[in-house]
Structure 1
Amino acid sequence: MITIRQIAKEAGVSKSTVSRYLNDGYVSEKTAEKIKKVIEENNYSPNEFARNLKYEKSKFIGVVIPRIDSPSTTSMLAGVEKISREHDYQILISNTDLDDQREIESIYSLVQNKVAGIIVFATKITDEHLALQNKIEIPIIFVGQQHPDIYSVIHDNFQAGQLLASNLLKFNHQKVRYIGVSKTDYSVGVQRKKGVVSTFIAQGIQVEEIESSFRTMANYELAKQLLQDKTYTLYVTATDNMAIGFYRAAFDLGLIVGQDISIAGFGGYMFSEFLTPPLTTIDFHHEKVGEQAMANLLDLIVGNSTIKESIVPVSYQERKSVIKL
């Protein structure tokens, strides 16, 4: 396929002139005719970005993700991509690696690339996020965090915590450790933890709260220390990914999950069912979250009204990682 460089050479103009023509910038009528002739002779099809700029109608959706190695991110992206493909949109992904400032910068960068809309898999909602959404002229949906001034797709994390804890009560554990994350992540670090802890405490069960991170290796190192204390028999981690670190630490310490120690998590990731033993968890149906976020964004793009806060249901998955005492 002929390139912009070749078009410029054959038309006797600069590359920047060809770019201006493709982007609907000013080009003299004579020059425009020369460029147009070369393009038609070579059946040149300008790339999608150039078409977006020229016709001011983007078919790209920007998606800002916090981690590229997260199973929940992968599943939600699959949902977004499924709905976007059905409506002839393509997605552009920007990974922030859990850096708040990079998240803001990524949104601005996607705006500059003239995407039709943006989905942000958010770890928090700050004043900067709120100010940014008021500045940009394209619709934006936040996934995983809630605020009255934004469009969001969320789970009821407090209810999810209650659901898991209430189902675990029948196993008769009296000393529980909850492994959570920073309170800056309100949905997971505050609401999810509150749902679990309050349910156990209401039944007179002792709960120790420990803050960790989402990283598997960090939880592995933490678990090597915690699991040596045999008085705590049940560990509830804020995500299935964090639970993996506890599984490996238990193995290294000669403990058998589901016999010597009990572990439960949140997420319902595909790998959770293939751990040994399979992990008891709350399934967040992440692909459905992605589908819902994209469907809501499409409504905003075409000017339709949509739900300000969509809540995707969760479900309890009982497996073999928790033993009854």
Structure 2
Amino acid sequence: MKVTINDIASRAGVAKSTVSRYLNGGRISAATSEKIKLVIEEHDYEPNSFARSLKSKKTGFVGVVAPALDSFVTSKTLIRIDDELREQGYTTLIINTSHSIERELESLQNLQRQKVDGMILFATELTPQHFELMERLTVPLLIIGQETDRTHCIVFDDYKAGYEMGRYVASAGHKEISFLGVQEEDVAVGVRRKEGVIAGCKENGAETVSFFRGSFDFQSAMKAAKEQFSNTSSTALICATDTIALGAMRVARELGYRVPEDISISGFGGYTVSAMIHPSLTTIEFDHQETGVLAASTMEKLIIGEEVEKLQRPSFSIREGESVKGKK
């Protein structure tokens, strides 16, 4: 009976992906490599034949499409993805789209024409054009940051994260709270995170939750913060990202408010700079390292045909800073 890669994996006591990595020249431990080698020799398995077949069908490249490479979240996750895929024997082709949906769609099509083995998309928005393209793809697609049942996704539980921050700030005694959010085209941050914040605030004692919308960039954040200060008497601002929170903190200082004595401010992201400033920012810290590892391992499994859960959620935690009054 012909021995398969699954048989080799079973007899060696390792995952199918590990055997694939061994045959494809990826990095694995010396002990594991020796185990696989012995099983291959014992059963007269022909790795060279497999490798030739693999080479004829696979390129060893994984395309990664991102809206901006200067983003803390994207860069942190991307570095980990690249490191992990490199250890598995793959090379990443990274494309920056500068937040252009048109360039994003074109990039995915171009990567498929270049016959990459799989694609990873850092998505801020999923349009009907995205869904139409998904129907035509012939290689695995993994989306980070947005959720759909049409392909595999890795996305934080934005509703739960929002709820936890809303609960945290309201439980500190704030009755009037403002949320500085983003456009609702970004369902994860613009809708679900907002809904979670509002629920967390209202279910834990906040009487009023006002909403102001800006964008992800610093200047837009400052504009939204100025509007908030002009129109509310809120004692706390919950900001959809750390960048927005940093913009709000600058506006607060310019207007003569003290943080957190006069106004409490919190964010989402867990950026390094948010812990370095004074007062340090209270924020939801997402595990970007875990996201990168999870994305790389998921892509490897998809490429070799292993079953993977359609939706996976990395972990998060509240990083308590000095910017929320009543909390240390």
TM-score by length of 1: 0.80
Partner residue, 1:135? 136
Tell me how far 1:183 sits from its aligned partner.
Answer: 1.1
Question: SS at 1:288's partner residue?
Answer: helix
For 1:138-177, what aligned pairs fall within 5 Å after superposition? 138-177=139-178
Partner residue, 1:24? none
Q: Deviations over 1:233-261 (max 9, x none)?
A: 10011011111111221222232222221
AA of the residue aligned to 1:278: S
Q: Which has the larger radius of gyration?
A: 1
User: Structure 1 pair 169/216, CA: closer, same or farther in 2 (3 Å)?
Assistant: same
Tell me how far 1:271 sits from its aligned partner.
Answer: 1.4
* CA distance in 2: counterparts of 1:254 and 1:136, whole angstroms: 54
For 1:101-250, what aligned pairs fall within 5 Å after superposition? 101-202=102-203, 203-228=205-230, 231-250=233-252
* CA distance in 2: counterparts of 1:58 and 1:223, whole angstroms: 48
For the Cα contact (< 8 Å) 2:125–2:185, is it kept in 1?
yes
Q: Deviations over 1:56-78 (max 9, x none)?
A: 42122111111222111111102
Partner residue, 2:37? none
Q: Deviations over 1:16-56 (max 9, x none)?
A: xxxxxxxxxxxxxxxxxxxxxxxxxxxxxxxxxxxxxx844
Q: Deviations over 1:282-315 (max 9, x none)?
A: 1111221122111111101011111111111211
AA of the residue aligned to 1:208: S
Deviates more, 1:194-203 or 1:177-186: 194-203
* CA distance in 1: counterparts of 2:216 and 2:206, whole angstroms: 28
Partner residue, 2:306? 304
AA of the residue aligned to 1:304: E
* CA distance in 2: counterparts of 1:308 and 1:265, whole angstroms: 28
AA of the residue aligned to 1:94: I
AA of the residue aligned to 1:69: D
Partner residue, 2:47? none
Of 311, 316, 319, the residue aligned with 2:318 is 316
Using the aligned pairs only, state the percent identity.
Answer: 34
* CA distance in 1: counterparts of 2:188 and 2:227, whole angstroms: 27
Of 254, 269, 272, the residue aligned with 1:270 is 272
* CA distance in 1: counterparts of 2:245 and 2:181, whole angstroms: 11
For the Cα contact (< 8 Å) 1:84–1:91, is it kept in 2?
yes
Partner residue, 1:85? 86
Tell me how far 1:318 sits from its aligned partner.
Answer: 1.0
Tell me how far 1:172 sits from its aligned partner.
Answer: 0.6
For the Cα contact (< 8 Å) 1:258–1:321, is it kept in 2?
yes
* CA distance in 1: counterparts of 2:125 and 2:106, whole angstroms: 15
Q: Deviations over 1:210-238 (max 9, x none)?
A: 11101111112332343356721100110
Partner residue, 1:23? none
* CA distance in 2: counterparts of 1:85 and 1:218, whole angstroms: 37
Tell me how far 1:119 sits from its aligned partner.
Answer: 0.4
For the Cα contact (< 8 Å) 2:213–2:224, is it kept in 1?
no
* CA distance in 2: counterparts of 1:194 and 1:87, whole angstroms: 39
Report the count of equivalent residues.
Answer: 274
Partner residue, 1:290? 292
* CA distance in 2: counterparts of 1:229 and 1:258, whole angstroms: 19
AA of the residue aligned to 1:270: T
For the Cα contact (< 8 Å) 1:280–1:319, is it kept in 2?
yes
Tell me how far 1:127 sits from its aligned partner.
Answer: 2.4
RMSD: 2.0
Question: SS at 1:323's partner residue?
Answer: coil
For the Cα contact (< 8 Å) 1:77–1:287, is it kept in 2?
no
* CA distance in 2: counterparts of 1:274 and 1:265, whole angstroms: 14
Question: SS at 1:227's partner residue?
Answer: helix
Question: SS at 2:267's partner residue?
Answer: strand
* CA distance in 1: counterparts of 2:250 and 2:282, whole angstroms: 16
TM-score by length of 2: 0.79
* Structure 2: gaps spanning 5 or more residues: 1-54
* Structure 1: gaps spanning 5 or more residues: 1-53
